[in-house]
Amino acid sequence: MNIETLQKIYPGATLHPFATDDSAYFVFSSQHKFLWIPKNELSPTEFQLLQTLSTPSKQGQQMKEHPWFKALFEHQKPPVDTGTYRIIQVEFNHLDSTTIENWNSELQSILPQLVDYFFVTENYALLVEVYHEEALMIDDLEGVFLALDGDFNLYTKIFVGSFYAHTEDFTRLLHEEEALFQYELTHSIEKKAYTLASASVAFFSSEAVKDSYLMRTLYHQWFLEADLIEIITNLWKNQGNVSSTAKDLFMHRNTLQYKLDKFQQLTHCNLKKMDDLFLCYLLTLTFK
């Protein structure tokens, strides 16, 4: 059962980016979206079923007490007059109340430039950090959360947003960065940390390409051999470097070069050229 289906079943329901404490509504949450369903539209059986299916959410009033709530969810100005800020999204596998308290304390000592952070659901949190010269890069942040996972027996995934001036609309920015995070969680499940740069090519390109008959045809004609997708993916990751790709694939360099030459002969795509490599990478991202 997803939110789109429930909206059709309950026409009086409304979609929001946060929960509510209003007792007149049942809040169904899924993938960080919250559907407010009037309880008078639900039978006792329906109410019980939706409770079973829905992810528990934090109380709406508790979230609203945070200084950045209105900036992140209601298109209002941030509670600051200067500076640039980024949003770090954190997805948890599980987190109990005792662990939350200890995790919060440890996080503040590691990231002292946090200006606000709170849980939207039981397994999803938002961190707002002000820019400073020693702001951690993605690799360092990944190491921080790996260490926290080890300390608290957790498994987290993070999306590290870009820094934006305080004058921007952070509600719109969060909406798009959250969509990127959700896309990556579905399509790059092996990774722990994601950024705007790592997600944008796949997300924005595939949205435009997926309905193209031409692109779909090329994919099905070019990628008849299963290992070609893995080769293209690793070749892109290594910026076209054949030796590094062969090493990652545990393949002899000459064997890999033979496969690339064969692919070029079939498709007339020279994977030493970044335009050709990008086209092939885009096809695999979209249609694999």
**Structural domain count, the chain:** 3
78 and 180 in a single domain? The answer is yes
Residues 77 and 199 in one domain: yes
What phi and psi, each to the nearest 5 degrees, are found at residue 16? -140, 160
State which residues form the domain around 101. 66-203
pLDDT computed for residue 60 by the predictor: 58
What SS3 string covers 125-193? EEEEEECCCCCCCHHHHHHHHHHHHHHHCCCEEEEECCCEECCCCHHHHHHHHHHHHHHHHHHCCCCCE
Do 146 and 265 lie in a common domain?
no
What pLDDT is stored for residue 216 in this prediction? 87
C-alpha Rg value of the chain to the nearest Å? 23
Are residues 147 and 258 located together in one domain of the fold? no
Q: Which residue has the tokens 């939706």?
A: 50
Q: Are residues 105 and 40 in the same domain?
A: no
Helix then strand count (H, E) for the chain reads 13, 9
Question: What was the pLDDT predicted at 93?
Answer: 83
Q: Residue 217 belongs to a domain with what CATH number?
A: 1.10.10.2840
- Single out the residue in 140, 174, 203 at which a domain terminates: 203
pLDDT of residue 198: 79
Same domain, 75 and 191: yes
Q: 164 and 118 share a domain?
A: yes
Task: Please calculate the CA angle 283-284-285 and round it to the nearest 5 degrees.
Answer: 90
DSSP string over 40-78 = GG--HHHHHHHHHHSPPB--HHHHHTSTTHHHHHS-PPP
Same-domain status, 89 and 154: yes
227-237 and 274-287 helices, crossing angle to 10°:
130
Structure tokens at 96: 């109990």
- Give the sign of the dihedral formed by CA 253, CA 259, CA 260, CA 261: positive
In this structure, are 137 and 122 located in the same domain?
yes
- pLDDT (0 to 100) of residue 194: 93
Check residue 166 and give its pLDDT: 94
**Cα–Cα distance for residue pair 20/132, rounded to 1 Å:** 34
- C-alpha closest to that of 288 among 234, 246, 280: 280
Beta bridge partners of 25: 38
Q: What is the mean pLDDT of each run of 10 residues along the chain (288 residues)?
A: 79 78 78 80 83 63 85 93 95 80 85 91 90 90 93 92 93 90 86 86 75 86 90 93 94 94 89 89 87
The predicted structure's pLDDT at residue 114: 94
In three-state secondary structure terms, 114 is strand
Are both 40 and 161 inside the same structural domain?
Answer: no
Same domain, 214 and 198: no
Supply the CATH number for residue 177's domain. 3.30.70.270
**Which of the listed residues 153, 178, 203 is the one where a domain comes to its end?**
203
15, 34, 57: which is the final residue of a domain? 57
Same domain, 222 and 193: no
